[in-house]
Amino acid sequence: MAGGRAVSALEQHLADYLQLRRSLGHEMAEARWLLPRFVAYLDAHGSSTVTIEAALDWAQQSPTGQPTTVGPRRMTAARGFARYLAGIYPGTEIPPLGLMPHRQRWRPPFIYSIADIDALMHQARISIRQPLRAATYETLVGLLAAGGLRIGEAIKLDRSDVDWSGSLLLIRESKFGKSRLVPLHSTAMQALSVYAKLRNELEPRPEEPSFFVSQTHKRLCYAAVCQTFRQLVNDAGVGDGAPSAPRLHDLRHTFAVRSLLSWYRTGEDVQAKLPSLSTYLGHREPASTYWYLSAAPELLSLAAARQNTRWTAVRS
Of 91, 73, 87, 60, residue with least CA distance to 34: 73
Task: Quote the pLDDT of residue 173.
Answer: 73
- Predicted TM-score (pTM) of the model is 0.64
Residues 197, 264 within the same domain: no
For residue 232, is pLDDT > 60? yes
Q: Which tens digit of pLDDT belongs to each residue from 278-312?
A: 877 887 666 666 666 555 656 555 555 554 454 44
Please identify which of the residues 249, 264, 290, 306 carries the catalytic annotation: 249
Asked whether residue 82 falls in the same domain as residue 120, the answer is no
Phi-psi region of 170 (alpha: psi -120 to 50; beta: other; left: phi over 0): beta
Q: Is 292 a catalytic residue?
A: yes
283 and 181 both lie in a single domain: no
Residue 101 domain-assigned? no
Q: Parallel, antiparallel, or unpaired: how do β-strands 162-163 and 180-183 relate? A: unpaired
Confidence of residue 139 (pLDDT cuts 50, 70, 90): very high
Q: How far is CA 164 from CA 169, 193, 238, 273, in A?
A: 9, 8, 32, 26
Q: Is 133 a catalytic residue?
A: no
- For residue 18, which of 81, 78, 92 has the smallest C-alpha distance? 81
Do both 135 and 193 map to the same domain? yes
Answer yes or no: are the C-beta atoms of 244 and 105 closer than 8 Å: no
Catalytic residue among 150, 219, 253, 258: 150
Task: Check residues 207 and 306 and name the one with the higher pLDDT.
Answer: 207
Q: What is the pLDDT of residue 207?
A: 86
The predicted pLDDT at position 167 comes to 95
3-state secondary structure of 237: coil
Q: Which residue in 102, 175, 178, 310 is the catalytic one?
A: 175
Q: Has residue 22 got a pLDDT over 80?
A: no
Highest mean pLDDT among 68-77, 96-105, 175-184, 212-221: 212-221
| 150: annotated active-site residue | yes
**pLDDT reading at 92 higher than 70:** yes
Q: Once rounded to an integer, what is the mean pLDDT over residues 39-68?
A: 83
- Asked whether residue 285 falls in the same domain as residue 232, the answer is no
How confident is the model over 250-265, as pLDDT tens digits?
A: 999 899 888 888 887 8
Residue 95 lies in a domain: no
Q: Which of 32, 219, 252, 258 is catalytic?
A: 252
Give the residue numbers spanning the domain of 38.
9-86
Cross-strand bridge partners of residue 215? none
Count the alpha carbons within 13 Å of 307 in the hemisphere toward its beta carbon.
Answer: 7
Residue 218 designated active-site: no
E strand or H helix at 163, and its extent? strand 162-163
Inter-axis angle of helices 250-265 and 131-147, nearest 10: 40
